[in-house]
């Protein structure tokens, strides 16, 4: 049986997945990280937990966090990010600009790609930077 919690696909397998497919998975990875971060930091409880998670996973918030990690990306990671940013999306949520939505899609694509490569440590390091506030870990 394949262990989908600890999956690792090779380059050719990853190339065959569309940028939208990677972003679809990356969206779930990001959501899980945000929910874990909120619980671990005691930021909210009950309904407040859901509202806090929604605020952090909205496209504008994701776009802002994506900007924080861009300078840290390798060439290969940046290429995946750009692949996601150039995805052909057909609907933009009303609470996001097209630019923010494409940055959020790019971030999700990168997270999905890293997850499928089995690079949880890299995801964690990038997420930690995304969640820093005023230069200090939150």
Active site residues: 27
- The radius of gyration of the chain's CA atoms, rounded to the nearest angstrom, is 15
- Report DSSP letters for 24-47, one per residue: HHHHHHHHHHHHHHHHHTT---TH
- Counting every residue written for the chain, the total comes to 138
- Total Cβ atoms within 10 A of residue 93: 12
Q: Please report, for residues 6, 28, 72, the alpha-carbon distance to residue 80 in angstroms, rounded to integers and kept in the order given.
A: 21, 17, 14
């Amino acid at each position: 049986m394949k262990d989908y919690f600890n999956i690792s696909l090779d380059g050719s397998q990853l190339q065959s997945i569309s940028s939208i497919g990677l972003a679809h998975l990356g969206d779930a990875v990001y959501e899980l990280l945000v929910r874990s971060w909120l619980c671990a930091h005691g930021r909210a409880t009950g309904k407040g937990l859901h509202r806090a998670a929604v605020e952090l996973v909205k496209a504008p918030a994701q776009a802002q966090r994506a900007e924080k990690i861009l300078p840290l990306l390798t060439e290969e990671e940046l290429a995946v990010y750009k692949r996601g940013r150039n995805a052909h999306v057909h609907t933009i949520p009303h609470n996001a600009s097209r630019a923010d939505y494409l940055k959020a899609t790019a971030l999700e694509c990168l997270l999905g790609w890293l997850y499928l490569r089995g690079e949880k440590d890299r995801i964690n390091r990038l997420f930690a930077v995304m969640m820093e506030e005023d230069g200090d870990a939150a």
